[in-house]
Amino acid sequence: RDRALVLSNHIAGMDWLMMWAVTERTGGLPACKALLKESLRFLPFLGWSWACADYPFLARQWDKDKKSLAKSFQGLREYTSPYLLTVFAEGTRRTATKLRESQEFAKSKGWKSLQNV
pLDDT level of residue 45 (50, 70, 90 thresholds): very high
> Is the entire prediction scored with pTM above 0.75?
no
Instruction: Check residue 117 and give its pLDDT.
Output: 60
Nearest to 75 by CA among 21, 20, 3, 14: 3
pLDDT in tens, 69-117: 999 889 888 888 888 888 877 656 678 888 898 899 999 999 998 877 6
State the average pLDDT over residues 51-74. 89
- CB–CB of 10/92 below 8 Å? yes
Q: How far apart are the first and last CA of the chain?
A: 33
Contact 98, 90 (CB under 8 A): no
Rounded to a whole number of angstroms, the CA Rg of the chain reads 16
3-class state of residue 10 by DSSP? coil
Greater model confidence, 32 or 57? 57
Q: Mean pLDDT, to the nearest integer, of 18-22? A: 79
Supply the pLDDT for residue 23: 76
